[in-house]
Structure 1
Amino acid sequence: MNKDSPGGSTASTERWNTVFRAAAAEPRRQLVVSLLDAPPGTSVSLPESAINPDVPQDPQTLRQELYHEHLPLLSDGGFVEWETDPLEASRGPNFDQIGVVFDTLHEHAPELPDSLVVGCLRLEVEEQQRLDY
């Protein structure tokens, strides 16, 4: 397979890099999780859907960061589409590329080291639900 072909290793590597860049900041991770929890085709309101309840951030500051940094990055990857008035986001055409990474993490929460689970509300809930069965 040619490294530069659409299905080649260069394209695949860049897709993975784009997914992991998008997942590298807490507000973006929270937004992806919020969109996973929302029915497909619906929007979530911002900044509320990007706030980690365990580490609350000033909503006005987060709103500015979302507008200038986080939403453009997620949009450039095709992961979200967003509107400014009101500020909201929905799944983009490539959302499944990042959503599957989070779904897989949540599915395997009990197998993850505690250092990755503790402090992530969704992973803590997933792990506790599995332990309760």
Structure 2
Amino acid sequence: MDEYFEALANVHRRRILITLLEYNPQRDTVAVPEDIHQGKKALEALQTEFYHSHLPRLEEAGLIRWNRDTHEVLKGPRFDEIRPLLELLRDHADELPDDLL
């Protein structure tokens, strides 16, 4: 359980995983939505975080599969293990603090 909470400890990782609930495969470059980086960090800095921290961490946990060459992010072999937590967050987003998701 600690591993799942570690994966969910960062808003960017939560958003990647929740996005994968609905969209698979997710093709294109790893895009950081405007509302994530607006006023907080430069887009380039966040892209670097995604490539060097968030995506490798989720991949290591088996929650995503990430093809660095094609920039494709897919559900990993352990994604279904964290699915109930993600669905709970998604389904109750309006009851949670705005910056949680």
TM-score by length of 1: 0.62
Give the distance between the partners of 1:118 and 1:68, measured in 2 at CA: 26
Does residue 17 (structure 1) correspond to residue 2 (structure 2)? The answer is yes
What is the number of residues matched between the two proteins?
99
Deviation beyond 4 Å, 4+ runs, structure 1: none
Going from structure 1 to structure 2, the CA distance change for 1:59 and 1:86 (only over 3 Å counts) comes to farther
Gaps of 5+ in 2: none
One of 6, 10, 16 as aligned partner of 1:31 = 16
Matched, 1:60 2:60: no
CA distance in 2, matches of 1:52, 1:28: 16
Larger relative CO (CA 8 A, sep 6+): 1 or 2?
A: 2
Cα distance 1:76–1:54, how it changes in 2: closer, same or farther (>3 A)?
Answer: closer
Question: Kindly, what percent of the aligned residue pairs are identical?
Answer: 29
Q: Residues 87 and 60 from structure 1, CA distance in 2 versus in 1: closer, same or farther, beyond 3 angstroms?
A: farther
Going from structure 1 to structure 2, the CA distance change for 1:66 and 1:55 (only over 3 Å counts) comes to closer
- 1:55-91 CA-to-partner distances (Å, cap 9, x unmatched) read 4343322221112111111011110000112323110
**Gapped regions of structure 1 (runs ≥ 5):** 1-15, 122-133
Residue type of the partner of 2:17? V
Cα deviations across residues 13-37 of structure 1 (Å, max 9, x unaligned)?
A: xxx0110000111111111111112
Q: TM-score, normalization: structure 2?
A: 0.78
Cα deviations by residue, 1:1-21 (Å, 9 ceiling, x for unpaired): xxxxxxxxxxxxxxx011000
